[in-house]
A and B are shown apart, each in its own frame.
Chain A
Amino acid sequence: MFKRVILQRLVLVRGAETALFVVLGALPLVEHSPYALGLLTLLAIYGVVLIGLDITVGYLGQVNLAQAAMLGLGAYVAGIAATRYGVGIPLAVLLSGGFCTAIGAVLALPALRLEGPQFALATLSFTALSATALNELEWLTNGAQGLSITRPLLLGHALDARGFFWLCIAILALVWLTMRNLMTSQWGRAFEALRDSPIATDAMGVGTYRHKVAGFAFGSGLGGVAGALYAFNFGYLQPQTFVYELTVILLLGVVLGGRKSLWGAVVGAGLVALLPNLLSSHRLFGAFSAIAFVLAVASGVRGLRRRTGAFRALAPIVATLTLVAGSFLVSNIEDWRKAIFALLLFSVVVGMPEGLMGFASAALARLFRVTPPALPPPAALDLVLPARAPDGTILLKLERLSRHFGGVRAVDGVDLAVTAGTIHGLIGPNGSGKSTLVNVVSGLYAPSSGGLRLRGAPLRGGRPVAAARAGIARTFQNLQLFGGMTALDNVMVALRGAWRVPLPFVLLGLGRREELRGQAAALALLDLVGLGDEARTRAADLTYGAQRLLEIARALARRPELLILDEPAAGLAQPDVHRLLEIIRRIHERGITTVLIEHHMDVVSELCDTVTVLDGGKVIAEGPPADIKRDAKVITAYLGADLGAVDPGAAATAPSDLPRAP
């Protein structure tokens, strides 16, 4: 059984990949026309560019408008290196790749702090800037006149068109392999995580920024590599090739082919390479738009049945119908090139956002059901989460900590000491500053004044990654899971100290053993919270209670010194609350210090060694739970000044806020 699964994977997944490259590589042996060879070469080159672009567009989920510029810069670097300095192909390709990786990193440093429109704007400006530079630096690039290049040697051999095609295919295969290795490693998980929840990615110590910069730089580098091939393929470069329109065509390739998919990138590259030919013949274009129309109608009908909304179903039909009408009405299709791209892209983005390969792979997955490789047995919990002996020292100390928002003093001069190995409760009415306090401790907010120390060492606030690395892990009251990832991946991405293989080795595929160890460790933690059987379930598909528990497992993957549970029982059904209590006790047994923010007084009194009560941003009481329940100030804070008159608002929203009358 086990062997069959492996064999099936090997044949279906790896077999299809191998077949793709064998067929592509063998085509020139059968088909000798230079025209077809030119198309195939272009496909390979676009394949590399699109795989690079897919990192930002697909995995990081940002609209990247700089890839055309990277292609252009790479092409010019290779062209200039070859013509001026007589550099050979291998070195030129490396130079272009390296140059664009560096440029990408520099651009990413500011640009990737940004999200959405700002990122798109920054990359758009970069494309415009690079076109200006290529045009104006005439002494280097020959400006608008264009740069002619003769193809240099490959290790002393002159390459004919076929040889050059094979070189491009070999590079595409290499890029494919390295990307696959990268995306099935911790890096791929981190990319997905930071798209789903940047806040949690930082709070889990993964480092949003570092991964974004690396991803963008790597993708840009691939653009540079493709640029070098582009230069040696065409032998002539002009600055106005690498402008906005090419950017849009590249986006079309990624989106049409299917995001987050190597197959999608290559299919998209094929379409982009074929597009000009499609527009050269009236009949071909007519047939093509008819096919597009039929597809749009089919997916529209399916969409209407599944109630995805009338717009999503009808808009692509209208757009493709316009294409069909255009193929009859317009005499020179080439003139309408941009409109055709626009209509195609529009139909795909609206009607089939998963792209051709996303669509196909869903269908294939139903047909073949390739089982994912079996998971290793869970590791021993003692290895994953070593028990600590509680030494009774002060683990976390807050000194006159304040956080103001404008005039609002959300946290106002709080002094707090959390003893190692205890469960420390933090309670208070809504708006008392609990969440703000936790956000300051976990580094999401910088304190306005005052300081915090972890094991005596001062902790600079405002940097969630730093707090996470120092040993603070947290859960979120409003769940911040990585919804698109499996439960297992959610835990794996947060594992502390598990990912030591450096990037170059990961690219070479040498991270497999580490990956298996990570899986075993994550499974042990999932077992601890009782989610061992849900390892392969997408986090978004888990029940609400299971999602809360998964957040705890993920925080434990940090092997934290201090675990902050932000209202873990909120919204849980009674049986789940009991499960939760049991889990928190087990965590306590392992000697992990826990700060528990909770509304359920019964949970607090059952678990906590010490309870701190906040009101109006200040500490109003502290002590064992039994004393807190009787504290007059606490009762006043919860029930209002008049002991009898219950504030109806507070009672309605959170009845369990009320301390049980002694």
Chain B
Amino acid sequence: MPLSIVVQITVSGALMGLVYALIAYGFQLTYATSKSLNFGQGELVMISAFVSLTLLDTGLPYVAVVPLGIAAGALLGVVVERAAVRLALQQKSEGWILLTIIVGLFLVSFAENVWGRDDRPFPTPIPADPIKIAGVDVTWLEISVAVGVLAIMTLVEVFKRWTLLGKAFEAVSADRDAAELMGISATRTVTLSYALSGAVAAVAGILVSPITTVGPTMAAALVLKAFSVAVVAGLQSGFGVVLVGLVLGALEGLASLYLGSGWRETPGLVLLILALAVRPTGLFGKAIIRKV
């Protein structure tokens, strides 16, 4: 195997890994405020991509479609929170696991019947031509993914740190009860976190669709790997996901190169189980002290 191919596959894989990182970041946003996450997050990625595709088909320009697609994702996030998460959180149960799975299943079926089961290309103004950077072929599309992922994550972090609403978000994440006592509505903040998480999922969908094509099952594999990234990095750690996403993406490329493309998914799954076994709080997570 020539070294150049190995390097090429590692780099392409790593760039894809950034998409996993972005979806994983969406998990962190809701986990921070509510200790819950959306098991149907992949379906949010997929539906937002389909909505954007439909809008593009109507002739709207790309720059107008992107914010609309993101808004659709945010709205879906709110729906998920209202339908599947709030009740369980009120009951202090883990019912949201099952309920978010259910909502996701509904959305898959919805997409299958509304948009069809076939994969469709996603037109984008960003050219797919490769350019050579240090001897490695990188496409503008891949660069747009990397830039987009880092940009949206930075934007959300800035929002959390520098706006009043963002401070409320951080307060609820740190201590829900204390925040409530200070007059912050924890319920609304959790809703906000689901809206943000949905928006982030939509960005992931719009960024990745030109590469993967759009279909009802496009996100099933993506989200499994995003779970791996979130767990390995730790559900609390902000930018740790970027690092883990890059590594996992690269590992995947190498696995399909050396083991065959059918084994592509395995590094993520194995890493996930291993991480849970060895370090359930994640590489960058803090240990939790049980209080009695």
- Which of A129, A338, A435 lies in contact with B269, CB distance below 8 A? A129
Q: Which of A116, A128, A248, A345 has the most CB of B within 10 A?
A: A128
Q: Known contacts A118-B276, A342-B103, A342-B106: does B266 contact A132 (CB below 8 Å)?
A: yes
Whether, in the assembled complex, B98 has its beta carbon less than 8 Å from a beta carbon of chain A, the answer is yes
With a cutoff of 8 Å between Cβ atoms, the chain B residues found around residue A512 in the complex are none
- Rounded to whole angstroms, the CA-CA distance of A128 and B42 in the bound complex is 15
For the complex formed, measure the closest distance between the CB of B45 and the CB atoms of chain A, giving whole angstroms: 16
Q: Is B131 an interface residue (CB 8 A)?
A: no
Interface centre among B101, B110, B292 (most CB of A within 10 A): B292
Partner of B272, one of A63, A125, A136: A125
User: Hey, what's the 0/1 contact readout for A65-109 against B, CB within 8 Å counting as 1?
Assistant: 000000000000000000000000000000000000000000101
**Complex contact A199–B292 (CB within 8 A):** yes
Given contacts A132-B266, A435-B292, contact A63 B106 (CB under 8 A): no
* Given A63-B94, A117-B94, CB of A343 within 8 Å of CB of B106: yes
Interface assignment of A346: CB less than 8 Å from any CB of chain B: yes
Q: Distance (Å) between the CB of B116 and the closest chain A CB?
A: 11
Interface residues of B, dominant DSSP: helix
Partner of B108, one of A128, A338, A444: A338
Q: How many A-B residue pairs have CB under 8 A?
A: 132
- Using known A-B contacts A122-B273, A349-B95, A478-B292, determine if residue A128 contacts B265 with beta carbons closer than 8 Å: yes
- Could you tell me if A122 and B292 are in contact, using CB atoms closer than 8 angstroms? no
A342 CA to B40 CA, complexed, in Å: 12
CB <8 Å contact, B273 and A116: no
Q: Tell me whether B273 and A338 are in contact (CB under 8 A).
A: no
Q: Nearest chain-A residue to B282 (Cβ)?
A: A118
Q: Mark B21-42, 1 if CB is under 8 A from A, else 0.
A: 0000000000000001101000
CB within 8 A of A336: which of B37, B102, B113, B220? B113
Instruction: Name the interface residues of B225-283: CB closer than 8 Å to any CB of A.
Output: 227-228, 231, 260, 262-263, 265-266, 268-270, 272-274, 276-278, 280
Q: How far is the CA of A157 from the CA of B109 in the complex (A)?
A: 45
B280 touches A118 (CB 8 A): yes
Is the contact region of chain A dominated by helix, strand, or loop, or is it mixed?
helix
8 A Cβ contacts from A220-272 to B:
244-245, 248, 251, 255
Q: Which of B37, B103, B224, B277 contacts A109 (CB 8 A)?
A: B277
Q: How far does the alpha carbon of A162 sit from the alpha carbon of B269 in the complex, in Å?
A: 42
**Is the beta-carbon distance between A136 and B263 smaller than 8 angstroms?**
yes
Decide if B106 touches A124 in the complex (CB within 8 Å): no
User: Is B63 positioned at the interface, with any CB of A under 8 Å from its CB?
Assistant: no
Q: Say whether A120 faces chain B, with CB atoms less than 8 Å apart.
A: yes
Report whether B87 and A312 are in contact in the complex, using a CB–CB cutoff of 8 Å.
yes
Q: Which of B113, B268, B274 has the most CB of A within 10 A?
A: B113
CB distance from A349 to the nearest CB of B (A): 6
Q: Is B133 an interface residue (CB 8 A)?
A: no
CA distance A129 to B265 in the complex (A): 8
CB distance from A516 to the nearest CB of B (A): 34
User: Cβ of A135: which chain B residues have Cβ within 8 Å of it?
Assistant: 262
With A118-B231, A132-B265 given, name 4 new contacts (CB 8 A). A118-B276, A342-B106, A346-B83, A349-B95
* 9 nearest A-B residue pairs (beta carbon): A110-B277, A339-B109, A338-B109, A342-B106, A125-B269, A342-B105, A136-B262, A116-B94, A63-B97
What are 7 A-B contacts with C-beta separation under 8 Å?
Answer: A63-B97, A122-B272, A125-B268, A129-B269, A251-B101, A337-B109, A346-B102
Interface residues of B (CB under 8 A from A): 36-37, 39, 83, 86-87, 90, 94-95, 97-99, 101-103, 105-106, 108-110, 112-113, 220, 224, 227-228, 231, 260, 262-263, 265-266, 268-270, 272-274, 276-278, 280, 289-290, 292
